[in-house]
Amino acid sequence: MAVINYLTTVQFDHGAIRLIGAECARLGIRRPLIVTDPGIRLSGLLDRLRDNLPAELGFAVFDQTPANPTEVAVKLGVTAYRAANADGIIAIGGGSSLDLAKAVALMATHPEPLVRYAAIEGGVARITAAVAPVIAIPTTAGTGSEVGRAGVILLDDGRKLGFLSPFLLPKVAICDPDLTLGLPPMLTAATGMDAIAHCIETYLSPLINPPAEAIALDGLTRAWANIERATSTGSDRDARWNMMMAAMEGAMAFQKGLGAVHSLSHPLGALHDLKLHHGTLNAVLLPPVLRFNAPNVGDKYSHLARVMGLAPGADIAVAIAGLNARLGLPPGLRSMGVPHDALDGIATAAPKDHCHGTNPRAASVAEYRALLEEAWV
């Protein structure tokens, strides 16, 4: 039997940030903690949020989200939440800020330690409806964390783990494509490839969820048609609208499960000192994983080729690699600074990731190691 769940309230359009006051009132949030990062403050986007908050709304700001959200940052965020006597969270930024906000909302209302709520530690059942309400405002078009039931956190023990629960879904997502107009080209490309990876992996997941597959294909259609235009002409509002929609759809779809790309990118993202970008990792890993999965996906590659506008029988992996090159993304893990001697540890960690079980072809440690070698160019 298939169990299918969708999802949360989304306010989506140019200028949607103007609705933040009404959404706080609807949810009964009077003292929000704003969770963001230093770049959002410097960009002026935090000021834009503040300008749209009602004057009577009291709020505090936590702007120390790191590039890959950490357990240390979660603890600092919880301290800020309690010091402000907050009753909810407004998260504004990329996937890191949104994921951190979910973890803060969890740990402000649940007993420590954080690790007991990780999916691979049996934590899904331990997360309750007590999670503080979150309003998510994405400023990139990639992770789709604003409509996702998961957050990924780098723990103190060095593992980068997923925390999954319907209670972690933001109560509302405010998706305003205008907030992405100033996004630099390389970040536009990398986050856009994250959305493409989500759409492709969830479509290929063997679980039964036809609505998710339909959403994934629509998201891929939009992303494939608009990512190069959004990257080269960042002020193109139509391209930005479609990329934000594709990112949201990718996350709506990955309720069905992801796969080996993410099983590898999560432990790679936990490598100390490198600060590897998740979307860039997914872009680099997609071609070898697509080749690996080919014997186990039936006719799904022909459907992907169709929505990507490729010729019948086109090699999807070659098409992705070509797009990466046109976008100016790195050709492989070596050029991203990943040391070759780290590959064994990543391959060992990959089968323990929560995305491993929904890859269409089961991968052994040795096969994960071979995929990494193929991506290490």
E-strand stretches of the chain? 9-12, 32-35, 60-62, 88-93, 134-138, 150-154, 160-164, 172-175
Question: What per-residue confidence (pLDDT) applies to 1?
Answer: 38
pLDDT tens for residues 81-100?
A: 999 999 999 999 999 999 99
Asked whether 126 and 117 are in contact (CB, 8 A), the reply is yes
pLDDT-derived band of residue 6, with 50, 70 and 90 as boundaries? low
Average pLDDT, the chain: 95
pLDDT (mean) for 337-365: 96
pLDDT (mean) for 209-222: 96
Res 281 pLDDT > 60: yes
From CA 339, how far away is CA 213, in angstroms rounded? 36
pLDDT tens for residues 26-64?
A: 999 999 999 999 999 999 999 999 999 998 898 999 999
Question: What per-residue confidence (pLDDT) applies to 284?
Answer: 98
pLDDT-derived band of residue 11, with 50, 70 and 90 as boundaries? very high
Res 197 pLDDT > 90: yes
Question: What per-residue confidence (pLDDT) applies to 254?
Answer: 86
From CA 139, how far away is CA 206, in angstroms rounded? 31
Q: What residues form DSSP beta bridges with 92?
A: 137
pTM beyond cutoff 0.85: yes
pLDDT-derived band of residue 324, with 50, 70 and 90 as boundaries? very high
pLDDT-derived band of residue 323, with 50, 70 and 90 as boundaries? very high
From CA 31, how far away is CA 132, in angstroms rounded? 12
